[in-house]
């Protein structure tokens, strides 16, 4: 038995809204507000519409300051960056783009951005193709894994990929010439943090960024510790209180925890198709992969930051618990 319908489906109008309906709804809400009850609103406003339909119409179209039309490069970059980090949580992404609705962004991603990035990923994978598969039981990865391997294997690729140790939310990241930081706590509680070194190749040759500056810094999670340098980079890390280092000698792709003290320790990024993630001590999530071209994301992510001459570091504050809906994004 399903749940009771939210309204009498037989007596509500569906489909496109007419200008008259728009006007009625707009007028009513401007005069009386929503009253905190969308279900009752259409009747009060004299509309033969479902409350949910009214809500959607208002939020996505009628409310003031809605921005329609082309997305800017900056908006592209933000969407890509956030999608890469938190997946399809459109409402959170929308919160970072004033005037844009989650529906707008979702549509834009599905119809344009994704295609663009996938086309470029395809181009990338044509250059280097390595079998790869999804981890078992993975729930709704933001993008497929298919072309990631080529990115991983690409020694020219300069990026990091991570997994979220706590959250069920996809938390893959690409970071190039940029810094990412994920934190599940309040801004005031930023420390402890985590960060990872960029993967450079699979021969343990990890170029150091911890010693050379703050590029390629990737941070996420909430239960690790590190100290910050004055330039904003971390110099010390521990992960979730206990080091979560996976021994995967056989893994095809390797990453390194770079903490300034324990260079070149491997972290999970399994290339063994049947052993996607090997948890050693607990709460690793699954590693997620991106299906779009690294260079493209790189470009998107860095384009505006490079014009932002003082810095190219990004700062994310997110809450893995969806209900809290805390998410902050800024760069410095």
Residues contributing to the site for DNA (CB under 7 A): 2-4, 6, 9, 13-17, 34, 36-40, 49-53, 55-57, 60-61, 68, 88-92, 102-104, 106-108, 110-112, 115, 140, 322-323, 325
Nearer to DNA, 3 or 127 (CB): 3
Comparison of 39 and 189: residue with beta carbon closer to DNA:
39
Shortest distance, position 124 Cβ to DNA, whole Å: 20
d(CA 313, CA 175): 10
Considering beta carbons, is residue 158 or 319 the nearer one to DNA? 319
In whole angstroms, give the CA distance from residue 181 to residue 214. Answer: 12
Q: Please, what's the b/e burial string for 252-290 (b: 16 or more CB within 10 A of its CB; e: otherwise)?
A: bbbbbbbbbeeeebbbbbbbeeeebbeeeeeebbbbbbb
- In the bound state with DNA, the residue whose beta carbon lies nearer, of 111 and 126, is 111
Whether 239 and 246 have beta carbons less than 8 Å apart is answered as no
Considering beta carbons, is residue 58 or 331 the nearer one to DNA?
58
CB of 320 to DNA, least distance (A): 12
State the minimum distance, in angstroms, from the CB of residue 222 to DNA. Answer: 18
Say how far apart CA 69 and CA 78 lie, in whole Å.
16
Work out how close the CB of 109 gets to DNA at its nearest, in angstroms, rounded to a whole number. 9
Closest by alpha carbon to 173, among 80, 307, 58, 265?
A: 80
Give residue 245's Cα distance to chain centre: 24
Smallest distance, DNA to C-beta of residue 102, A? 5
């Amino acid at each position: 038995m399903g749940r009771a319908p939210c309204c009498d489906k037989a007596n509500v109008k569906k489909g496109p809204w007419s200008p008259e309906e728009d006007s009625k709804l707009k007028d009513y809400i401007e005069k009386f507000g929503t009253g905190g009850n969308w279900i009752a609103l259409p009747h009060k406003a004299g509309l033969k519409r479902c409350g949910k339909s009214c809500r959607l119409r208002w939020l996505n179209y009628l409310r003031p300051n809605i921005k329609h039309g082309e997305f800017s490069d900056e908006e592209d970059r933000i969407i890509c960056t956030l999608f890469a980090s938190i997946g399809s949580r459109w409402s959170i992404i929308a919160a970072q783009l004033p005037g844009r609705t989650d529906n707008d962004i979702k549509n834009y991603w599905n119809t344009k951005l994704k295609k663009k990035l996938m086309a470029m990923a395809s181009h990338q994978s044509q250059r280097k193709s390595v079998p790869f598969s999804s981890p078992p039981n993975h729930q709704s990865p933001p993008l497929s894994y298919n072309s990631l391997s080529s990115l991983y294997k690409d020694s020219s690729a300069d990026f990091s990929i991570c997994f979220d140790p706590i959250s069920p939310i996809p938390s893959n990241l690409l970071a190039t010439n940029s810094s990412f930081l994920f934190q599940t706590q309040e801004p005031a509680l930023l420390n402890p943090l985590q960060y990872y070194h960029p993967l450079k190749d699979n021969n343990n040759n990890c170029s150091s960024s911890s010693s050379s500056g703050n590029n390629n810094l990737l941070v996420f999670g909430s239960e690790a510790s590190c100290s910050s340098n004055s330039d904003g980079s971390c110099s010390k890390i521990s992960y979730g209180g206990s080091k979560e280092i996976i021994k995967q000698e056989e893994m095809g792709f390797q990453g390194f925890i770079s903490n300034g003290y324990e260079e070149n320790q491997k972290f999970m990024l399994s290339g063994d198709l049947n052993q996607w993630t090997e948890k050693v001590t607990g709460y690793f999530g699954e590693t997620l992969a991106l299906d779009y071209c690294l260079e493209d994301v790189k470009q998107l992510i860095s384009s505006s930051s490079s014009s932002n001459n003082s810095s190219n570091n990004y700062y994310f504050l997110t809450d893995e618990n969806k209900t809290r809906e805390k998410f902050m994004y800024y760069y410095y």
